[in-house]
Amino acid sequence: MRPLRLGIIGAGLMGREMASAVSRWCALEDVGIGCEITAVCDLAPGARAWFRRLPSVSLTTADHRELLASDQVDAVYVAVPHQLHEKIYLDVIEAGKDLLAEKPFGIDLAAARKIAARSKELGRFVRCSSEFPFLPGAQRVFQFAREGKLGRPLEVRSAFLHSSDLDPSKPVNWKRQNVTCGEIGVMGDLGMHVMHLPLRLGWKPKRVYAQLQKVYRERPDGKGGTAAADTWDNAVLHADAEVLGEEIPLRLEMKRLSPGDTNSWIFEVTGTDAGARFSTKDPKALWLFRRGKEQSWERIDLGFAMPFKTVTGGIFEPGFPDILQQMLAAFAAERAGLLGERFGCVTPDEAVASHEVFAAALDSHRTRKAVEL
């Protein structure tokens, strides 16, 4: 099978991270398809120049339409600021290319719905980014939750926590301004990461009560002045979801100001008989709760048990670059019909569902009431 020829639009932090994932494709043992980056687009010359280190790249351009016109590109990974998602994602699918979109899949619910509807209409293969569920610990909690051996379900917590914004001298950038990040703020930034597993498990919130916080309203603009930082910094969503036939609390936490959390992704499911917990803070550990004569939380040291097998030794530790590669492997495999039972990327329907929750959260915060979905 011909390798997937990937174009990248937006060669910033994530564009380069994806390039690194592709460059290590030889580590993957059972994807069934290769992958190479053939074309790159970014407005910034420096960002394009970085890609000279990849011999497979034959086209670099500042105009994404030029990349989309290339017959050397099958699918495109787009990692640009959120206000550009709708236009560029639609351009990608209308040019006949498949799309690996970055979250939040459009700046708001209306944009997400338009992108999803158009991709269905045109029959394109479209998926959205969310890599943490590919971690071995996350996969184990997911499998545990799917088996439904909780006893009576108690509650679910899904969280993604950052802390660098605690520093008031951190300059503002497009992620901290509504016009470029979106009115949903931190939910657009971190929300897909907390919604992916609950939605995949069928635990879509039925109603949501949101507590949203803006903490620092101004930040250095990086040019000697200050600029408004008007996005929501922290969001805690108290939702009700049906789990194993019972409505229980589902707590969704997305925070840019969480003391001490550099990039903590947490997923926890508990019931009266059993529970499971994983956090990237302790990335090897799977915690399993058991209620017997005595109650215990058992800690299991996990190795490199990824959905897609790799050459990496089974006892070694996985990290962010590994899961981004796993996510791309899932995209490539599913597009080629080779995913099988393995875990797949966020679908357009799931991305739209996450936006429905974020839109309800804005509404809830405005009215200080729980909002039905």
Ligand X SMILES: NC(=O)c1ccc[n+]([C@@H]2O[C@H](COP(=O)([O-])OP(=O)(O)OC[C@H]3O[C@@H](n4cnc5c(N)ncnc54)[C@H](O)[C@@H]3O)[C@@H](O)[C@H]2O)c1
Please report, as ranges, the residues that interact with ligand X according to CB under 6 A: 9-15, 41-44, 47, 64, 79-82, 84, 102-103, 129, 131, 189
The nearer residue to ligand X, 74 or 131, going by C-beta atoms, is 131
Residue nearest to ligand X (CB): 12
Cα distance between residue 53 and residue 352, in whole Å: 36
The nearer residue to ligand X, 10 or 344, going by C-beta atoms, is 10
Render 148-200 in DSSP notation, one character per residue.
T-SSSEEEEEEEEE--GGGSTTSPP-GGGSHHHH-TTTHHHHHHHHHHHHHHH
- Tell me how far, at minimum, the Cβ of 222 lies from ligand X, in Å: 13
Other Cβ atoms within 10 Å of 139 Cβ, number: 21
- Tell me how far, at minimum, the Cβ of 208 lies from ligand X, in Å: 22
The nearer residue to ligand X, 175 or 238, going by C-beta atoms, is 175
- Tell me how far, at minimum, the Cβ of 111 lies from ligand X, in Å: 12
The nearer residue to ligand X, 41 or 111, going by C-beta atoms, is 41
The nearer residue to ligand X, 131 or 350, going by C-beta atoms, is 131
The nearer residue to ligand X, 13 or 110, going by C-beta atoms, is 13
- Tell me how far, at minimum, the Cβ of 317 lies from ligand X, in Å: 19
- The pair of three-digit structure tokens given for residue 120, joined into one six-digit string: 């269905």
Cα distance between residue 245 and residue 248, in whole Å: 9
Which runs of consecutive H residues, i.e. helices, occur in the chain?
13-23, 45-50, 64-68, 85-94, 109-122, 136-147, 178-181, 186-200, 320-335, 348-367
Side chain identity, residue 222: G
- The pair of three-digit structure tokens given for residue 52, joined into one six-digit string: 């000279």
In order of 172, 176, 222, the CA distances from 225 in angstroms are 11, 16, 7
- Tell me how far, at minimum, the Cβ of 79 lies from ligand X, in Å: 4
Cα distance between residue 231 and residue 183, in whole Å: 7
- Tell me how far, at minimum, the Cβ of 288 lies from ligand X, in Å: 27
- The pair of three-digit structure tokens given for residue 353, joined into one six-digit string: 């569902």
- Tell me how far, at minimum, the Cβ of 11 lies from ligand X, in Å: 5
Question: What is the SS3 assignment for 36?
Answer: strand
Cα distance between residue 111 and residue 222, in whole Å: 30
The nearer residue to ligand X, 7 or 153, going by C-beta atoms, is 7
- Tell me how far, at minimum, the Cβ of 135 lies from ligand X, in Å: 12
The nearer residue to ligand X, 193 or 277, going by C-beta atoms, is 193
Cα distance between residue 26 and residue 219, in whole Å: 43
